[in-house]
Amino acid sequence: MPNHLSILGIIHTAISILAIFAALYALFIDGKISPANNRGKLYVLLTAITCVTGFPIMRFGHPTAGHTLGIVILVILPIAYFITSLKFLGRSAIYLQVFLMSFTLFLSCIPAVVETLTRLPINGPIASGPNDPIIQKGLLTLVILFTVGVIYQFVKMWSRQKHMNDQKVDLA
């Protein structure tokens, strides 16, 4: 079977897969994607490279929704990276950072689902296009995973903060 990806498409896909794995690894180890540590920095770097390498790829000869997602991700990443330095946000800054970093992962997974299901298997892709019911179910699953994941991260952060505050009270 012929490969329907250009060299740039192959590089872009490989980097995007590495970015998603970096995010999942950070979530597993740290419970969040934190741009303050090397796992989070790796995710940010790989995600930015993924977005930039995706811009010249035009499967249909013109920019697509995937290109728009790349721009949105590139706008959100630096905001998420530096939001904790905005002192007027107080403790909410870390929650906003977690939400925004998770949101970039969610946005990155949208084209991953669409492209995978409309390209594989090569001899007969699972989905015919972005409006195919299987893709819609995949995207709904992503929304549910994103929502549950962010809530879980918030609860863990709140619980950790409460535990640290309780320890401070015990020491006093």
Helix axes 92-119, 38-54, angle to 10 degrees: 50
Per-domain residue ranges for the chain? 7-171
Take residue 21 and report the two structure tokens written for it: 């794995």
Whether 82 has a pLDDT exceeding 70, the answer reads: yes
Direct distance between the N- and C-terminal alpha carbons of the chain, in angstroms, rounded to an integer: 70
pLDDT in tens, 131-170: 999 999 999 999 999 999 999 999 999 988 877 777 766 6
CA contacts within 13 A on the Cβ side of 71: 7
pLDDT in tens, 98-122: 999 999 999 999 999 999 999 899 8
pLDDT in tens, 17-74: 999 999 999 999 999 999 999 999 999 999 999 999 999 998 777 898 899 999 999 9
Alpha-carbon span 87 to 8, nearest angstrom: 41
Average pLDDT over residues 124-134: 93
- Predicted TM-score (pTM) of the model is 0.90
